[in-house]
Amino acid sequence: MSENGFLVNSKLVKKGKKGILSVVFGRTAFIVLLILFQLVILIGSATYLGQYLYVALGGFTVLSAINMLFILNTEDDPNVKLSWCILIGLIPVVGIILYWFVRKDLGHRVEKRVMAAVIAESKQFVPKQEALMKELKEENLSLYNLARYTAANGGYAPYKNSSVRYFPLGEDKMAALLEQLNSAKSFIFMEYFIINKGSVWEEVLNILAKKAAEGVEVRILYDGTLSLLALPYSYPSQLAKLGIKCKVFSPIRPFASIAYNNRDHRKVVVIDGRVAFTGGINLADEYMNRKTVYGHWKDTAVEVTGEAVYGFTLMFLQMWNVTEWKRDFETYLKQCTASVKNAPGVVIPYGDSPLDHENVGEMVYLDIINRAQRYVYIMTPYLILDNQLITALCFAAKRGVDVRILLPHIPDKKYAFALAKTHYPQLCRAGVKLYEYTPGFVHAKEFVSDDVRGVVGTINLDYRSLYLHFECGVYMEGVEALSDIIRDFEECFEKSMAVTAETIKHTAIWYKMFGPLLKLIAPLM
């Protein structure tokens, strides 16, 4: 028990479902069953069809060709199309069934329709910002064009009179978060991909329980994959006993959840409509270096105050209201009245939804790369690039822009590291400078360019973040915090190992062997 009499995490959280359940409920079991099904069909055909076996094989070939033709005429990314065609060509029965199962997403079609409707409904609350847009059009046309794009294609408006504070480590963000949570008077909204038991969550939970007892409305939204990996299915009801409202985004269900790739990867905190947090940092001990798993954990976040908090509040309510009969946008948005007068620069809080087929996250990244004149610095844990990003990065380097990418030296996923290394030769030949953070693992997702613009958020440079997940970030132009981000990059480069032709030559054989193979199906992983 805490000194306030509230249940702390070590007592409240029961062990989540792990082990065999994570396999049974996951897509692994489904794929294994499909492969066994294909083997049964092939063996059965060879055993019972006899002279008609060639007819069956011919039928499989025709069916595969028809599906490939359909795939090639979709609007999907070319690499995604190629991966599906390879899969269907190699294992036609499994490939075709899996493709249509993923495409139709039968287990979540209603849920996705409701979510799309809520997002569409909420766009009426996006401020027009006519005066600001007019000002940008006259004084900063490139920023105006980007703001016009995010507003028109995602419902994410630009804001002035907003201040940004940058946190170069999880420990820094944690201290600021606890301080702001303790000062909450009206409401606390928290949306995270991962919440895991440990000292970090225990500290946060004690404050949330105390605030709920004081009458502060506390809402927590976390992704459903945690029900297999960390938290039990009953966790929302356990938090309800503390007066905390809690929801699970798309809980994992057998087979219905297998193909559901659209996870909630956002990390958003909003307090009283006056302050918001976002970045790569989840609520778990390793993110604050209280537990060592892959060496030193390098992650970043920002605290936003002022008018831009309105954008984060709206983003949270969009996700929360999917299961609400009565939408409550206005109740909380009208409390977002904070303003930091005369704060320099423009801030655009933005999200990315896989439901609208508009890749806002990738477009913002491409805009930064393509507008860069002197340099672009990037931090990302994963480097699994599509053709657009490879072309943009290489072209920027070839036209003289100093392009630098900071990656982990100690990876959390070896297959992702193998995939990243497949891009090293092409990027290095074009003049892109790659660095591996030798103290440990980089989990930050951020860009900065030309001392004037940058992004901190949740969006990795991989297919899941760019195409499949719900993501978020904050675009900044002309804000004072950019100087802190630049300084952090420079310090990290000094601690890192530069990738050269020689280091690429001596890449471990495991990466050289399996990286190119994994690259064939990278968009599907």
Q: What's the one-letter identity of residue 94?
A: V
Measured in residues, the chain has a length of 525
Structure tokens at 140: 């900063």
Residue 25: per-residue pLDDT = 45
Query: Would you state the pLDDT for residue 2?
Result: 42
Residue with tokens 């004690």: 206
Distances 306 to 326, 336, 473 between C-alpha atoms, Å = 28, 8, 16
Angle of helix 92-104 relative to helix 27-48, nearest 10 degrees, comes to 140
Measured distance CA(117)–CA(199) in Å, rounded: 39
For the stretch 276-316, pLDDT in tens is 999 999 999 999 999 999 999 999 999 999 999 999 999 99
Task: Look at residue 112 in the predicted model and tell me its pLDDT.
Answer: 73
* Domains contained in the chain, CATH given: 9-17+110-124+161-344 (3.30.870.10), 20-107 (no CATH), 360-524 (3.30.870.10)
Rounded-to-integer distance, Cα 364 and Cα 155, Å: 14
Confidence of residue 347 (pLDDT cuts 50, 70, 90): very high
The reported pLDDT for the residue numbered 58 is: 75
pLDDT band at 1 (very low <50, low <70, confident <90, very high): very low
pLDDT at 259: 42
Q: What is the largest distance, in Å, between two alpha-carbon atoms of the chain?
A: 82
Choice between 8 and 327, residue whose per-residue pLDDT is larger: 327
Beta-strand relationship, 440-442 and 296-298: parallel
What is the rounded end-to-end Cα distance, in angstroms, of the chain?
42
What pLDDT shows up at residue 303?
A: 98
Q: Summarize the confidence of residues 248-274 as an average pLDDT.
A: 78
The model's confidence at residue 38, banded by pLDDT at 50, 70 and 90, is low
* pTM exceeding 0.85: yes
**CA–CA dist 406, 491 (Å, integer):** 11
Tell me the average pLDDT across 150-165.
95
Tell me which residue of 222, 209, 329 sits closest to 283, measured CA to CA: 222
Whether residue 479 is predicted with pLDDT greater than 60 in this model: the reply is yes
pLDDT class of 16 with cuts at 50, 70, 90 = very low
**Residue 503, Cβ density class (10 Å: 0-12 exposed, 13-18 middle, ≥19 buried):** middle
List strands edge to edge, sheet with 162-167. Answer: 162-167, 301-306, 275-279, 268-271, 187-192, 217-223, 245-249
Mean pLDDT of the chain: 87
